[in-house]
Structure 1
Amino acid sequence: MPEPQRITRGRPQDEDLTGHILAATLDELMDQGYAALRIERVAAAVGCGKTAIYRRWATKGELVAAAMNHGTTIGAIPDTGSIAEDLVAHARQNAKNQGQHAGNHNPYTAMVAPEVHEILWDGGFLAQRRDMGRTLLARAIEREELPGDTDVDAILDTLAGFVLYRNTIRREPVSEQDLRELAQALTAAPPRRGPSAQ
């Protein structure tokens, strides 16, 4: 006769605890925002002690950066054969990442906190997504779809800023048509780097 299945209750096992902490941190960010986020509330939501959190992340900024990395889908580098459509797909992933978090606060506004931004920009999802954008624009320059002196950072900043502003300030969904019109405008007359640009 098989033994009855043992049901465990209480706090999650250690191998699952990290994921629960990161998810609870995102919930807290959406509910309270970065400035008001408290480690003790995250710990209470998970059912662990604060020490379990501080063993993993030494500061609130490190915890929030880890939660944002955990909750962001990096996606793939689009390759549609058209730079405008590649940019639409790239920006659509940004919009999807930001739009999936419904609450009083968009957790992506925590990116402006210096202690969070430094981590995200130094190997986190911000750096990864930026590298992907640069790759698809470099590919378009190689196939002469864009001029060689195209200011790729200006294009990526414009698209990213548009999505972030719509999602966090106006709190409006970003439509496919909006992204396509902006991408087409940016690639039809791309911003150019000046003669002294690196």
Structure 2
Amino acid sequence: MNAPVRRRGADLEHAIFAATLEQLADHGMAGLTFENVAAAAGAGKASLYRRWTDPEQLVLAALAWTEDTAERSDHPGGTRLQPVGDLRDELIAFLSDLADGLTTPVGRVLAPLLLERERRPEMWQRIVALLIEPRQRLVTEAFGRAAARGEIPSSAVSPSRVSAGAALVLARHLTTGPLSRDDIVEVVDDVVLPARWR
């Protein structure tokens, strides 16, 4: 019988991160332990304790890994917004990517992480900086380009309008499940962009 292959370096970390997301989705932060993650990853507990001091640090590292992976993949999870010269088209593509991203392992951990906002405010602020603020900046920039083209009034570039699309996509995903492209078009046309701008 062959001995199990020992993972090292990046392979080991990736296995740990994937196991972390799986354990977090299934058990929440309260049930996330180094012991359970190590067992799920096929790693030794010592390999986790050498890298991270507590589960919060491990979760943040796993989320950063998923962001980096998404940016380099064909399914960016809302990490990119391609300028095409039309705000509606840009938002539909961006929110479709975001909706796709919510079906990945990261999407499964959003609900348990939301429950930690009050209990772990420092961790939540780091999650906001890692996952939410970069996407808001992309949408803000898209609105700014549209205003510069005269496509929309400059007054339209407001925090509420910038966050409305992504917030609704997330809320509907968490309550009713994954969104279709038709759902995304409805969000953009009925909520984000008033008819007089289209």
Per the shorter chain, which TM-score range?
0.7 to 0.9
Match of 2:128, as an amino acid? W
Aligned ranges for residues 172-187 of structure 1 at < 5 Å? 172-185=177-190, 186-187=192-193
Cα distance change, pair 139–151 in 1 and its aligned pair in 2 (3 A): closer
Cα distance change, pair 121–98 in 1 and its aligned pair in 2 (3 A): same
Q: Percentage identity across aligned positions?
A: 28
Query: Does structure 2 conserve the Cα–Cα contact (< 8 Å) formed by 1:106 and 1:168?
Result: no
Larger radius of gyration: 1
More off after superposition, 68-77 vs 17-26: 68-77
1:124-181 deviations in whole A, cap 9, x for unaligned?
23232222121111111111212111243212322122121222222x2212112112
Cα deviation for residue 82 of structure 1 reads 1.5
SS of match in other structure, 1:149: helix
1:40-95 deviations in whole A, cap 9, x for unaligned?
10011223333322332222122112222322424322223221111111111111
Cα distance change, pair 111–30 in 1 and its aligned pair in 2 (3 A): closer
Task: Tell whether 2:114 aligns with 1:117.
Answer: no
In structure 2, the partner of 1:36 is 31
| Structure 2 runs not aligned, ≥5 long | none
Match for residue 168 of structure 1 among 154, 171, 174: 174
Alignment RMSD: 2.5
Match of 2:181, as an amino acid? E
Cα distance change, pair 189–55 in 1 and its aligned pair in 2 (3 A): farther
In structure 2, the partner of 1:137 is 143
| Structure 1 runs not aligned, ≥5 long | 1-6, 191-198
**Could you say which structure has the greater relative contact order, defined with CA pairs below 8 angstroms and 6 or more residues apart?**
1
Cα deviation for residue 8 of structure 1 reads 6.9
* Greater share of helix: 2
In structure 2, the partner of 1:146 is 152
Q: Would you identify which runs of 4 or more consecutive aligned residues in structure 1 move more than 4 Å?
A: none
TM-score normalised per structure 1: 0.78
In structure 2, the partner of 1:59 is 54
